[in-house]
Chains A and B, each alone.
Chain A
Amino acid sequence: MSGELQGEHFDCVVIGAGMSGLAAAIRLAMFDRKVLILERHNAAGGLNSFYSIEGRKYDVGLHALTNYAPPGAKGLPLVKILRQLRLSRDELDLAEQRGSRIAFPGRSLRFDNEYELFESEVAREFPNEIDGFRRLVGYIKAFDETALDIKEESAKDVIARFISDRILLNMLMVPVCYYGSARENDLDFSQFVILFKALFLEGFARPYDGVRVIIRALLNRYRELGGLRKMKCGVREIAVEGNQAKRLILDSGDEITADHVISSVGYAETLRLRSDQAEDAGSTNTGALSFVETITVMNAEPMKLGWTDTIVFFNNGHAFDYRRPDDLVDLSSGVICIPNNYRYSDDRKLEDGFLRVTALANYDRWAALSEAQYREEKEKWYDLLQRRALDFLPLLRVRDKEHTTPPMVAHKAQSRLILSERTLAKDMFTPLTITKFTGHLGGAVYGAPNKVKDGRTDLENLYLCGTDQGFLGITGSLLSGISMANLHVLGRK
Chain B
Amino acid sequence: MTKDDVKQIVLDIIAEIAPDEDLSDIKSEVRLRDQLDLDSMDFLDIVMELRKQHGIEVPEDDYPELASLDSCANYLQPKFEAKASA
Contact = CB atoms under 8 A, between A and B. Distances in A.
Interface of A: 30-32, 71-72, 74-75, 79-80, 82-84, 86, 88, 482-483, 486, 490-491, 493
A83 B48 contact: no
A86 B17 contact: yes
Given A72-B20, A79-B20, A84 B41 contact: yes
Interface in B37-58: 37, 39, 41-42, 44-45, 48, 51-52
Contact of B17 (A75, A83, A491): A83
Given A32-B52, A83-B17, A83-B20, A491 B44 contact: yes
A30 B49 CA distance: 10
Choose among A80, A83, A486, A490 the residue with the greatest number of B CB atoms under 10 Å from its CB.
A83
Contacts of B48: 30-31, 490
Contact of B41 (A32, A74, A486): A486
Nearest to B16: A86
Given A31-B51, A82-B20, A490-B44, 5 more contacts: A75-B37, A79-B20, A83-B18, A88-B19, A482-B41
B39 A84 contact: no
A75 B39 contact: yes
Interface of B: 16-20, 37, 39, 41-42, 44-45, 48, 51-52, 59-60
A486 B18 contact: no
A310 B17 CA distance: 34
Nearest to A76: B37
Contacts of A31: 48, 51-52
B59 A80 contact: no
A220 to B, nearest CB: 17
B79 to A, nearest CB: 16
Contact of A84 (B37, B45, B59, B60): B45
Nearest to A487: B44
Nearest to A486: B44
A74 B36 CA distance: 9
Nearest to A80: B41
B41 A493 contact: no
B39 A80 contact: yes
Nearest to B18: A83
B16 to A, nearest CB: 8
B12 to A, nearest CB: 14
A107 B48 CA distance: 52
Contacts of B16: 86
A72 B18 CA distance: 12
B53 to A, nearest CB: 11
A457 to B, nearest CB: 23
Contacts of A82: 20
Nearest to A479: B41
Contacts of B52: 31-32
- Nearest 3 CB-CB pairings of A with B: A74-B37, A31-B48, A75-B37
A82 B42 CA distance: 12
A483 B41 CA distance: 8
A491 B60 contact: yes
A490 B51 CA distance: 11
A86 B41 CA distance: 13
A456 B40 CA distance: 20
A492 to B, nearest CB: 9
Contacts of B37: 74-75, 79
A74 B18 CA distance: 11
Q: Which of B17, B18, B48, B59 has the most CB of A within 10 A?
A: B48
A489 to B, nearest CB: 11
Contacts of A493: 59-60
A493 B51 CA distance: 11
11 contacts: A31-B48, A31-B52, A72-B20, A75-B39, A79-B20, A80-B41, A83-B45, A86-B17, A486-B41, A491-B60, A493-B60
A441 B59 CA distance: 41
A56 to B, nearest CB: 36
Nearest to B36: A74
Contacts of A84: 41, 45
Contacts of A491: 44, 60
A72 to B, nearest CB: 7
A79 B20 CA distance: 9
B48 to A, nearest CB: 5
A216 to B, nearest CB: 21
A490 B40 CA distance: 13
B4 to A, nearest CB: 26
B42 A83 contact: yes
Contacts of A482: 41
A105 to B, nearest CB: 44
Contacts of A74: 37
B19 to A, nearest CB: 8
B11 to A, nearest CB: 16
A79 to B, nearest CB: 7
Contacts of B45: 83-84
A80 B16 CA distance: 14
A72 B45 CA distance: 20
A31 to B, nearest CB: 5
